Amino acid sequence: MNIGIDVNCLIFEKAGFGRYTYNLVKNLLKIDQKNHSFRRNHFFLYASFIRKRNERKKILEDLIKETKAKNVTLRIIPIPARWKEFLIGLPISIKLFIKDPLDVYFAPHFAGIPKSGFDKKVRMVVAIHDLVFIKFPEHRGRYLSNYYLKRTKIALKQAKNIIAVSNSTKKDLQQYFKLEHKKIFVIPEAVTENFKVCKNKKLIEEKTNKYIPRDTKFLLSVATLEPRKNLSLIIKAFALLPNNLKKEYKIVFVGNPGWNNRSFSRVVKNYNLENKVIFTGFAEESILPYIYNRASVFIYPSFYEGFGLPPLEAMASGTPVIASKGSSLPEVIGSAGILIDPKKEEELAGAIKRVLLSERLAKKLCGRGLKQAKKFSWEKVARKTLEVLEKSAK
């Protein structure tokens, strides 16, 4: 079977779709080497760029080299990524860009599915991560939300099958697009082996001192700084904690500024907590596990998530988790963390207080979290994805 995969996200995004694409492709190629029954497959990886050609090509070549895969063909389409995304959204044959004899074509992101598609012999599969542009259109702006909606409609129409990263996302797809149940396959995401418990305190300090001052005790949240993530709730809950805890702990936010993050900054200022909050900006995956390991508790009160990877990363790193009851998060966390109402700061404050003051509870949550995290693996994601691709090609 000849499998084509759009890997542009892998090149242009460090987080989100990019991490998903990188880990999925890496593990698809690996399992193909491990299991001889899959050797009938050949993978075609498609990327499009002109600038920084050698640097970007090397990212893909290094990935292939790491997996030791021989059944891979790398295709670089020599046009800017934005041009390619725009052009395949028009009624222009995708054969202008892709001429290989594919059986199935997979897009890890809706924008990778062409409007005109291939001939009828080539089946298409798309991964849908969330419907933020419908649920919270203001977070992307009207223009982008309308564009995402338009391209998602194209992807859902063209795809023979759809991969949803959670049951919550599947339900959203059925609610808003009236899709058949049997057309949607739920395949949860996972974390890499980098996220694990580290008992070397000296190493943890060395890796994280650039971001967080030495000997700082802190509550942690990892998210883009935007209203949907509901980070203001953490500030409001922190303000309700007893004075001894507020004196002892700080709050660390890891993530880039997002849409309308100024309103969040105002909340921090209004509660006079500027000296209690640390913004690290984006942290590389090589550093992030150590930050999780240093944290006393991880908090994720997001209003909406298609999957919600940070809580899973925190659990795999042995950090107690408090998160929202909303959308997909209960699927990810199960009974391994404390789930709270994302609109009630007093409920969050109570949960934080319980974890910080009870070593027994913290250890209990850590143990449950480690067990829950083991249920998710990228090898499992790759195997299930390959099953969907094989079904789709028939």
Cβ–Cβ < 8 Å for 186, 306: no
* pTM given for the model: 0.92
Q: Is 119 exposed, middle or buried (0-12, 13-18, 19+ CB in 10 A)?
A: exposed
Cβ–Cβ < 8 Å for 308, 316: no
Q: Which residue numbers in the chain have pLDDT < 70?
A: 34-39, 140, 259-260
Predicted confidence (pLDDT) per residue in 368-380, tens digit: 999 999 999 999 9
Cβ–Cβ < 8 Å for 320, 295: no
- Give the integer Cα–Cα distance in Å for 394 and 389: 9
Q: DSSP letter for 225, please.
A: B
pLDDT at 187 (0 to 100): 98
How far the first Cα of the chain sits from its last, in Å, is 10
- Give the integer Cα–Cα distance in Å for 187 and 319: 24
Q: For tokens 């790398």, name the residue.
A: 74
pLDDT at 35 (0 to 100): 62
Where do the CATH 3.40.50.2000 domains begin and end in the chain?
2-190+377-393, 201-373
Q: For tokens 């998060």, name the residue.
A: 329
CATH superfamily of 201-373: Glycogen Phosphorylase B; (3.40.50.2000)
pLDDT at 12 (0 to 100): 86
Cβ–Cβ < 8 Å for 134, 118: no
pLDDT at 13 (0 to 100): 82
- Write the class of the CATH domain 2-190+377-393: alpha beta
- Give the integer Cα–Cα distance in Å for 215 and 318: 19
